[in-house]
Structure 1
Amino acid sequence: MAIISTAGLARTFQSRSGPVQAVRGIDLTVREGEILGFLGPNGAGKTTTLRMLTTLLEPTGGAATVAGHDLATDPAGVRRTCGYVAQSGGVDPQITVREELVTQGRLYRLPKTEAVERAGELARDLDLAELLDRRCAALSGGQRRRLDIAMALTHRPKVLFLDEPTTGLDPGSRADLWDLVRRLRDAYGTTVFLTTHYLDEADALSDRLVIVDRGVVVAEGTPSALKLEYGGSLDASLQDTFLAITGRRAAPADQAPVAV
């Protein structure tokens, strides 16, 4: 069953030199309960697409539904059913983890008692229980990312959008976050829409990949199927597959480029 569906989704920005087509027409379907890896070079339109699907940016063309809610006619319904973790995160460094989680619950109009209970649940589920009274400024990069995800899960969304979630993390923290993403899908049935530059991450996590370039979908399928089609063998490097599809080499894991 499709939980995300788009048809010709597009976004054009106006600049001093004229219109810029960041997304030229994205057609995709995401099945309920899958982890979708959304890949592409810098400027391919990944973050713009994600921001449209989360109602942060209005499309200039096409249509989409998220969890049965139309992007154009029911944006409030979309927001109720999705969670979003941006590249830069959004925690307040001056308050504690507990205060951040409770505040997030209150912003979703949970009664205070329920917001406190939900904060405790999320802290246990995301290994933050021992950090509840620590100021957010004192968290490590991996701990801060887990808090970002906990905040996005406050309202129990059906779809979780993660935009470059492991950029800047050390290898151990990246591995921990991969385990968390798998657990969200396996234990709670959460659909995860993941944008990433890291091909090892996409290969390890994704049930299916969609590769975009210059604002359009250029390939999609399981990692194994794409490697077989473009790389020549099941164990061919996904980096080589990406290069064969886009003609451009993906960013190495020690870089943190800004996506568009």
Structure 2
Amino acid sequence: MFSTESRTILLVEDEALLAMSEKLILERYGYKVMVASSAEKAIEAAVSFQAIDLILMDINLGSGIDGTQAAVEILRRRDLPLAFLSSHSEREVVEKTDGITSYGYILKNSGETVLIASVKMAFRLFEAKLNEKAKEEALRESEQTFKALFEKGPIGVAYHQMIYDGNGKAIDYRFLDANQSFKCLTGMDPIGKLVTDAFPGIENDPFDWIGLYAKVARTGEEMRFRQHFVVNDRWYDCVAYQYKPDHFVVAFLETPIRGRRNGNFLPRKNTCGLLFVA
């Protein structure tokens, strides 16, 4: 939050006495005020002085373009809060400004309290907009980063939805998405398939893959483990976590083969370019 002392308001008003009165009110509350007596001067000031934080725009500004036209031009060039300060209360005039800006419409005879409250609200609305924009940009950047890691990273990643029978028992899960490394590390493109179709016989594996992932999908408990996958005779180091109820993500790397003698790990030819050794 900025203090009022650091905020500059551009007051656009062609009547000198009114401009002086409104300027004094705003300055009494700690704002710095610049005055423009025409739409053309307002546009020039808004573009030239980046220190302007908010504009109070009259509508009727004598000869030349009016306040609504000036507002459109200014907002085309700068992103800042602009509120109309006018003596017009006609519905058609107020509605005309709605399509230009959403930071307020202040009647000139509303009084000092309403003016200052409206200015403060315009600042709050603009700050909320900036915060929301920052969040959206951060989310977009995060999504782009995740997408790059998901699509090009060496770790196999897949997103799933758990499938239950009529009694609520987990009996299968569906692959909603999987990256290229998943396909390389397993030899299967599973997207859209049930695990029992993508990897026939998984339900007969001594390790209960479906049951373990069902626990993750239901409880949100994160699981980390190393396990042999009987279907393709490979060992994997896995991390499984819940994305949302009944949906889970698994990330994994292939490990060397565990030998039958002395429990040693034996190397496997790896076509994916990555083998995890621990």
Q: TM-score, normalised by structure 2?
A: 0.20
Q: TM-score, normalised by structure 1?
A: 0.21
Task: Name the structure, 1 or 2, with higher relative contact order (CA <8 Å, separation 6+).
Answer: 1
Larger radius of gyration: 2
